[in-house]
């Protein structure tokens, strides 16, 4: 790279796109960089998944919504696609366009924050990282929203895909807290969307925003921070994974109880050294003890239960756990898949045994791999399927399988990740599995259908109405209906 003649026309020095973008930033405190510049190489292009190389036509860092409007118009005039990036943690590098020659709108400068204490609604810039969302809401009155556990993820992408986290069983997902957004559309219009103003746009934003525009700010409903938080872990280390299958089966039966206490968040993490069942209980130690959770699981495990002082302590503890998964702020070459399970599609015992035996007997090509089962349900399931673009309102838990290449990512490792899902799906013929759009899987044959399910036709109609030329595009974005 760096050879102008090898770049697409829009990316070449002096192209109409570059001249247009240079004009946008001529008197701005923002900036723009192109493939020819050293700054572009060193600072502006940060592929989170290094297995998928992407070369954008330009990376922009605007400071105002008006600049984003002009950027979009420049891209349209040059027939170039546009994608926004907040935290930059897309598994398919979709924040960089997901494929070469897109214009990236980096939202790093959109850090607005305010709290209206008359109604406890927070206005948050789309470039804000989750760690900063947590701190700013706490400092503004001990408030919070549901969100995930990785502090480096940006709210702009997180809250418009789903935004699932430990307290989602009580509060719903991050996107369920969105009351209103400001968004830049494909024709350059800057508009607001809420339940009463452009409700179809708000529907699309709540689960599929990357296909419809650039969200610049959110208005969130906030809630009082939980006052009692218990963090627990139940660890089985070393030994054969097959010996842990019964413990997992017991966990699945526990979380399948329709009366499971919504204060309980729980996940199973399988990795090279063993299995950890851990999570958070948003209540008192006495309430947690009354669940008898650990004693219902198999014995011979190391059990740890800690009472945390406050919400900030709980979120900080989640961040430490996230480091174990290696899906925090560190980029690398990796591959990930996901499956969605409903109360009526629990994994049969044969599927569980096949899965755990597979973990024992397969050459993985790496030591850094995970299979993570995250319970959902609760308040997330209370919202009707057609209320938001997020489609998996019936999900009980997700499986995310994930492996990091040692240097580069080998086909052996990709096959191992694919095989983890296949061992389960083969034991459940005829089941329609969905996938979570936050765990981008570029190898899905019909990602749109698996991400958005029954909501896809409506999204395609909205796309045709507000972005008929597919300006906001990545390899698996919603396409306009013909």
Per-residue burial over 415-448, b = 16 or more CB atoms within 10 Å of its CB, e = otherwise: ebbebbbebbeebbeeeebbbbbbbbbbebeebb
pLDDT score, position 190: 98
- CA terminus-to-terminus distance, the chain: 37
pLDDT at 3: 43
Residues 218-232: what's their mean pLDDT? 94
Label the pairing between strands 58-61 and 103-106.
parallel
How far is it, in rounded angstroms, from Cα 471 to Cα 102?
Answer: 10
Least confident window among 60-69, 149-158, 218-227, 467-476: 149-158
65-77 and 16-24 helices cross at what angle (nearest 10)? 170
pLDDT of 386 > 90? The answer is yes
246 vs 248: CA distance, rounded Å: 5
Position 319 pLDDT exceeds 70: no
Any idea which of 65-79, 209-223, 400-414 has the lowest mean pLDDT? 400-414
pLDDT value at residue 306: 77
What length does the chain have?
Answer: 482
Q: 290 or 236, which is more confident?
A: 290
Per DSSP, what are the bridge partners of residue 375?
Answer: 397
Q: Could you tell me which residue, 317 or 399, shows the higher pLDDT? A: 399
In degrees and rounded to multiples of 5, residue 237 shows phi and psi of: -115, 145
Dihedral-angle region of residue 101 (phi above 0 means left; psi in -120 to 50 means alpha; beta otherwise): left
Give start and end residues of each alpha helix (H) in 303-390: 311-325, 349-361, 379-382
* Pair 459, 389: CB distance under 8 Å: yes
305 falls in which pLDDT band (50, 70, 90)? confident
Q: Residue 44 above 80 pLDDT?
A: no
Q: φ, ψ for residue 115 (rounded to 5)?
A: -125, 120
**CA 200 from chain center: how many Å?**
22
Q: How far is CA 66 from the centre of its chain?
A: 27
Q: Which domains does the chain have, with CATH numbers?
A: 4-106 (3.30.43.10), 113-225 (3.30.465.10), 229-443 (3.40.462.20)
Q: What is the pLDDT of residue 273?
A: 86
Alpha-carbon Rg for the chain, nearest whole angstrom, is: 22
Structure confidence at residue 310 as a pLDDT band (50, 70, 90) = low
Q: pLDDT grade, residue 309 (50/70/90)?
A: low
The confidence score (pLDDT) of residue 239 equals 81
Put simply, whether the predicted model's pTM sits higher than 0.75 gets the answer: yes
Between 104 and 319, residue with greater pLDDT? 104
Model pLDDT, residue 277:
92
Averaged confidence pLDDT in the chain? 91
Residue 43 has pLDDT above 90, yes or no: no
User: 């240097």: which residue's tokens?
Assistant: 407
As to burial, measured by CB atoms within 10 angstroms (0-12 exposed, 13-18 middle, 19+ buried), residue 123 is middle
What pLDDT is stored for residue 328 in this prediction? 47
Give me the pLDDT at residue 329, please: 52
Q: Which percentage of the chain shows pLDDT scores above 70?
A: 93
pLDDT in tens, 182-224: 999 999 999 999 999 999 999 999 999 999 999 999 999 999 9
């Amino acid at each position: 790279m760096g050879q102008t003649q090898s770049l697409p026309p829009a990316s070449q020095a002096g192209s109409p796109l570059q001249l247009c973008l240079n004009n946008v930033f001529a008197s701005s405190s923002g900036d723009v960089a192109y493939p020819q510049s050293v700054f572009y190489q060193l600072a502006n292009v940060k592929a989170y998944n290094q297995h998928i190389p992407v070369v954008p036509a330009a990376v922009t860092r605007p400071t105002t919504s008006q600049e984003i409007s002009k950027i979009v118009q420049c891209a349209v005039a040059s027939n170039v696609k546009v994608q926004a990036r907040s935290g930059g943690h897309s598994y398919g590098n979709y924040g960089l366009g997901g494929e070469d020659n897109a214009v990236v709108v980096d939202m790093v400068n959109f850090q607005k924050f305010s709290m209206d204490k008359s109604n406890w609604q927070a206005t948050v810039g789309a470039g804000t990282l989750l760690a900063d969302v947590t701190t700013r809401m706490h400092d503004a009155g001990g408030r919070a929203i549901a969100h995930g556990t990785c502090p480096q993820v940006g709210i702009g992408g997180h809250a418009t895909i789903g935004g699932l986290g430990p307290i989602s069983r009580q509060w719903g997902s991050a996107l369920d807290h969105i009351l209103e957004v400001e968004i830049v559309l494909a024709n350059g219009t800057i508009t607001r969307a809420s339940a009463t103003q452009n409700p179809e746009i708000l529907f699309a934003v709540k689960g599929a925003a990357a296909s419809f525009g650039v969200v610049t700010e959110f208005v969130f409903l906030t809630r009082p921070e939980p006052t009692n938080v218990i963090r627990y872990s139940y660890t089985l280390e070393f030994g054969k994974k097959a010996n842990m299958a019964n413990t997992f089966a017991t966990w699945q039966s526990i979380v399948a109880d329709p009366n499971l206490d919504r204060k309980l968040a729980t996940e199973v993490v399988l990795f090279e050294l063993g299995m950890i069942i851990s999570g958070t209980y948003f209540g008192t130690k006495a309430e947690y003890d009354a669940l008898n959770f650990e004693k219902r699981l198999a014995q011979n495990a190391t059990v740890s239960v800690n009472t945390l002082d406050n919400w900030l302590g709980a979120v900080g503890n989640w961040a430490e756990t996230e480091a174990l998964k290696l899906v925090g702020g560190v980029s690398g070459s990796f591959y990930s898949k996901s499956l969605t399970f409903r109360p009526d599609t629990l994994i049969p015992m044969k599927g569980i045994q096949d899965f755990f035996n597979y973990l024992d007997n397969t050459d993985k090509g790496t030591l850094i791999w995970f299979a993570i089962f995250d319970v959902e349900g609760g308040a997330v399931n209370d919202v009707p399927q057609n209320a938001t673009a997020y489609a998996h309102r019936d999900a009980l838990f997700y499986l995310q399988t994930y492996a990091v290449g040692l240097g580069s990512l080998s086909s052996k490792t990709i096959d191992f990740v694919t095989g983890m899902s296949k061992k389960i799906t083969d034991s459940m013929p005829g089941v329609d599995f969905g996938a979570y759009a936050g765990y981008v899987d570029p190898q899905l044959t019909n990602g749109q259908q698996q991400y958005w399910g029954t909501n896809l036709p409506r999204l395609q109609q909205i796309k045709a109405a507000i972005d008929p030329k597919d300006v906001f595009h990545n390899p698996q974005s919603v396409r306009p209906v013909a």
